[in-house]
A and B are shown apart, each in its own frame.
Chain A
């Protein structure tokens, strides 16, 4: 029997309960996370009732939260930090850039900093310039940390548990829309009509194909909250134009490992990157640079990047929609590839 549909928030909540039950060195810090409120997005619901000593509500002071978590991690605990909106990780980045990411090497491997920063990113909710951004790209330039962003087709709970078990500092990016969306895991190697392969490793990548991994027109690499937008675009391209694309949904953004992308590009000969953050200096830019260097001879067209326009996110939904990458943008990028074939 298929399990009942589960929303993102539920999967993450269950994983937290599981890891708290399994390990007594796990702590959770954050603003407004106590029951009955259970956090702005309800991810921590029920946790403070069950583990009152290990779930700690904090003042609005992100910089100090990062410092406290780092100290606990250095002393052998497993702190999880909830930053209510990803926009505010910047307040803690000094700790990350100058301390958390460096302690292990600076102290010659005598310490690790096994902490997790959980935070929601993403727009499409009309929250305006300071509560809607996708700032993953700020983290991609920090060596020695791990950035994980699951999608609605990943086993979100398993990813979170893996992040807590990880000896490295992990930023665990959650997409706001994903909290309310029903997760869709592969069944019998498929999600809906698309065949899906899941890579090995702690933070797997998913590769989707409408042709059962035979020849296709392009590879679209994406992550997190962009995946449903990309899948809608891929479905439209198939149904309306019979243009088949493979989709690679990474969950490990850093350290960047692109084996699945390179393998897919070898079948498709073209690459489109899709991210919700702004274009310049982004996820897509880094991937484009690496892929062209690795498999230049496999590419028949320049890499296309789909991303938000460089600018600040407006509050008005129509303006926000115009700024953020859409299904139409992805369809246009694929259609613009040279020699796109059906």
Chain B
């Protein structure tokens, strides 16, 4: 497809007049044929067609056309003509005039932090930080702050909060005397065995599920404690909250955890490494609320400062040594230094790379990726890939696979799994290359079929993209798209689950720990 562009040569203004079309729209033209007359300020010129084909005119006669614009296409084939017709008509985009953006960057950021709609400020001229500050103080003056407003108006859009966030306030409240005794002598509590700690907390009113393991030397103290089944906190942990700590089932935390804030709401199936620190400066502040969604991953040595709300969504991946801060360390505000206290939000399924830093006030959109060592100072829109210091969006975090491509990718998982198990020394059969694609290990068949339509020969683990029918006993079906496991199985199913997890496919229901081991 060829373009006829109104070039700038021999013209003294920004615009030229398209005086006359010498051919009708959709006419067949030949290379070098004059197609139109353009009147510029210094000359009237004929413009020739750059090639042969069907001309598609984009402007009418007597139109004033900005120099540099395409005024017509020459379609060389019927396909090209069809593709031109599919495109919306070209419109000259006016340059935004001075003042199209009324609010300053500082004003917009402050309004964003406080969830303020700038249209509430009725003012001639620019909206400045001072205007937003004045609105905030007016609002504060008219609505005195209420205690217990955990999120202080922060939007939870894009964040699936853990179930414990809405927990009834009566659940897990400790007797005042017991609470005072642990606070007075935490070391004696640390010295108890896991069972002794669990029983003592339960007796004092805490809600503690079955199979909870509190590691050697680990302390848990808070006016309200809600710990669901199967939660494991490693050795030398310190969990000290001013109001409540709630942890969903089978979440596990490595050694040397430090969790200090006012309110901690942690979801189910969280996997957290060692030497992780939640808290830091201002962790007792009234706004120090931490929420971590189900199935989140927190890598070793991550540091999350909580003096303002920190919301970490479902399946968020916070890699090793990543750092989240909710305030800066500043000099005097009266000398013009910034003094910032602001929440940080990571929406569902976002990822933060190794040693990346998220500065106070930033919001990472759902399914976005922040690259390792990046420094994020603002919002990252959903679905984007951001990298750099400071982080800039350079593309999308994922791309859509066609149905066929998705099937090919899933089929190759069978090959990869087969290779892995064979290299680990397990007796695996050759891959049966057909529909379904399968092999056998430890007496269990592992299949991939694009759609599962019921039954199946036990024992088997089926990987599929669609689940329709009922499955037989002993057949476990993994819905790779819905990210769910149907049925149950033993060590082979657990091994396949773990294999899927390493490809970013976290399956529900849990567990996400394998006490029975893996192949």
A residues near B, CB below 8 A?
9, 39-42, 125-126, 176-177, 179-181, 184, 190-195, 210-212, 228, 231-232, 235, 238-242, 342
**Chain A CB within 8 A of B70 CB:** no
B residues near A, CB below 8 A?
8, 12-15, 41-42, 97-106, 124-126, 128-129, 336
The answer to whether residues A41 and B12 also contact, given A231-B98, A235-B99, A239-B101 and a CB cut-off of 8 A, is yes
Query: Which residues does chain B contribute within 8 Å of A9, judged by CB atoms?
Result: 13
- Does B97 lie within 8 Å of A181, measured CB to CB? no
Query: Which residues does chain B contribute within 8 Å of A179, judged by CB atoms?
Result: 12-13, 41
Complex Cα distance A125/B11, Å?
A: 9
Chain B: minimal CB distance from A135 (Å): 18
Complex Cα distance A177/B103, Å?
A: 29
The answer to whether residues A180 and B104 also contact, given A126-B8, A194-B99, A194-B125 and a CB cut-off of 8 A, is no
Chain B: minimal CB distance from A205 (Å): 19
Chain A: minimal CB distance from B63 (Å): 15
Chain A: minimal CB distance from B295 (Å): 40
The majority secondary structure among interface residues of chain B is loop
Interface centre among A41, A177, A180, A181 (most CB of B within 10 A): A180
- Does B12 lie within 8 Å of A239, measured CB to CB? no
Chain A: minimal CB distance from B104 (Å): 5
- Does A242 lie within 8 Å of B106, measured CB to CB? yes
Chain B: minimal CB distance from A273 (Å): 20
Which residue of A is nearest B17, CB measured? A42
The answer to whether residues A242 and B128 also contact, given A42-B41, A176-B12, A177-B14 and a CB cut-off of 8 A, is yes
Complex Cα distance A210/B126, Å?
A: 7
- Does A41 lie within 8 Å of B125, measured CB to CB? no
Q: Which of B13, B97, B99, B336 touches A41 (beta carbons < 8 Å)?
A: B13
Q: Which of B13, B129, B336 touches A180 (beta carbons < 8 Å)?
A: B13
- Does A238 lie within 8 Å of B102, measured CB to CB? no
Complex Cα distance A9/B100, Å?
A: 25
The answer to whether residues A194 and B98 also contact, given A40-B42, A239-B126 and a CB cut-off of 8 A, is yes
The answer to whether residues A242 and B124 also contact, given A126-B8, A192-B99, A193-B102 and a CB cut-off of 8 A, is no
Query: Which residues does chain A contribute within 8 Å of B14, judged by CB atoms?
Result: 177, 180-181
Query: Which residues does chain A contribute within 8 Å of B101, judged by CB atoms?
Result: 239
26 contacts between A and B (CB under 8 A): A9-B13, A40-B12, A40-B41, A125-B8, A125-B12, A126-B8, A179-B41, A180-B13, A180-B14, A190-B124, A190-B125, A191-B98, A192-B98, A192-B100, A193-B125, A193-B126, A194-B98, A195-B124, A210-B125, A232-B98, A235-B98, A239-B126, A240-B104, A241-B105, A242-B106, A242-B129
Query: Which residues does chain A contribute within 8 Å of B126, judged by CB atoms?
Result: 193, 210, 238-239
Q: A180-B15, A239-B105, A242-B106 are in contact. List 15 more A-B contacts (CB 8 A).
A: A40-B41, A41-B41, A42-B13, A125-B12, A176-B12, A190-B125, A191-B99, A193-B98, A193-B102, A194-B98, A212-B125, A239-B126, A240-B105, A242-B104, A242-B128
